[in-house]
Amino acid sequence: MVFSVGYCIFVIRNLNSKILQSMSTLIKSATIIDTSSPYHNKQKDILITEGKIEKIADSIPKKDNYTVVKLDNLHVSCGWFDTSVSFGEPGFEERETIKNGLNVAAKSGFTNVAVNANTNPVIDNKSAVEFLINKANGFATSLHPIASLTQQSEGVDIAELFDMKQSGAIAFGDYKKPVSNDNLLKIALLYAQNFDGLVLSFPKNNAISGEGIVNEGINSTKLGLKGAPALAEELQIARDLFLLEYTGGRLHIPTVSTEKSVKLIKEAKKKGLNVTCSVAIHNLYLTDDELHGFDSNVKVNPPLRTQKDSKALIKGLNEGTIDVITSDHNPIDIEHKKVEFSVAKNGTIGLESAFGALNTLLDLNTITKCLSENPKKIFGLQTSSIEKGETANLSFFTTEGTSKFSKENILSTSKNSAFLGKILKGKAYGIFANNQLILNN
């Protein structure tokens, strides 16, 4: 990969990134992917000055003080936003720190990330929210806290939602923990309407799921692993939708994974309910056939489902029933992952492999809509377009080339990737955001 700064040429030959800041950045020969822009699907030069797009043209001459970016098969879209990321800090810094996590996100093409509350202590008060925001100040990738819905994420008492919203929380949910108390979710949906709060409800019925650790089906039976039926997810979603119909408000269902879940949400949207949902990339790309290796990296929650489910999820994205794609990036340290499958913690990292995996499954318009436009609207972030005068918030990527994802591609502190050994297509080059250019080869 080659890019130039003034008259100097820099050649990156390893995985170290270059972080560059100058008055003006010139992006050469970039194919713009932005359906809201008049330049959609056109190859243009883009000049950015002091963080704003100054000019877009077929060719813009270089000047001595320009940082010039020229990359093979360069594509540019509005910045990607990952709505479910875990970094560990505070409390689990051995898994990932905010500093390294934000750098990983930037190199993986994400200009914004929503960070989950699964820390120690849990993000369930305004001070904890402000800690995350202050800790992330000054990075190219912006961090947005998802605060806990209940105190200590224990599902008993509602947390200080309004105070946390005022401090910068963009949504409220207990990460990977279902709200078992029906009345508590009802009250949360009613209360959050007072300040346009977004409530997240993880789709799992613990009573039905029991001690299941993988999808209940042919593979779980063959391998002797305890199964969690798809019904556990679908029953919870049906309950949540009934409550939403009664209360009104805004409900987001994270990481759906079954065919019936998609059908339930599609029907709810037809009724006019204000419900949105996301899907994790590993539930699109992988199935429970991966379990035959007993690799704990593919132990995730919700579990990997069947090929039929994966196809239904992809169809749900293409037809607009599923609104958001997330990496559901969840670093787990080796002491809790490289152990017997039944006792290993759930979770996979996913930022580094996100675009390469999606690019094998979906068209670019769907990818950018579900990584940028939709999540920003749902979670209340400012949307933008690639046009003159707009603030530059851009993701860089190439659609060409295939490669096998390996440990050398992992930038996270924890290495628990379900995509190790998988063939990915294309890759992220980096981002321009907050007047910072970060590139990764």
Q: What is the pLDDT of residues 249-274, one digit of tens each?
A: 999 999 999 999 999 999 999 999 99
Q: What is the pLDDT of residues 203-241, one digit of tens each?
A: 999 999 999 999 999 999 999 999 999 999 999 999 999
Strand partners, 433: 436
> Would you list the domain boundaries of the chain?
2-77+387-439, 79-379
Q: Which two tokens stand for residue 441?
A: 């080869």
2-77+387-439 has which fold? Urease, subunit C; domain 1 (2.30.40)
**pTM for the model:** 0.94
Whole-number Å distance between alpha carbons of 37 and 28: 18
The rounded distance, in Å, linking the Cα atoms of 214 and 138 is 40
Which residue carries 């591609």 as its tokens? Answer: 409
Instruction: Quote the pLDDT of residue 22.
Output: 55
**Rounded to whole angstroms, what are the CA distances from 337 to 114, 161, 180, 349, 410?**
24, 33, 27, 12, 16
pLDDT tens track for 93-105: 999 999 999 999 9
Other beta carbons within 10 Å of 285: 22
Contact 204, 155 (CB under 8 A): no
Element (H, E) at 310: helix 307-319
Answer yes or no: 328 catalytic: yes
Asked if 158 and 184 count as a contact pair (C-beta separation under 8 A), the reply is yes
Tell me which of 289, 328, 333, 363 is the catalytic residue: 328
- For the CA atoms of 125, 85, 254, 151, what is the dihedral angle to 10 degrees? -20
The per-residue DSSP string of 231-288 comes to: HHHHHHHHHHHHHHHHH-SEEEE----SHHHHHHHHHHHHTT--EEEEEEHHHHH--G
Q: Is the bond leading into 38 cis (omega within 30 degrees of zero)?
A: no
Which CATH code is given to the segment(s) 79-379?
3.20.20.140
Which residue positions in the chain have pLDDT lower than 70?
1-22, 441
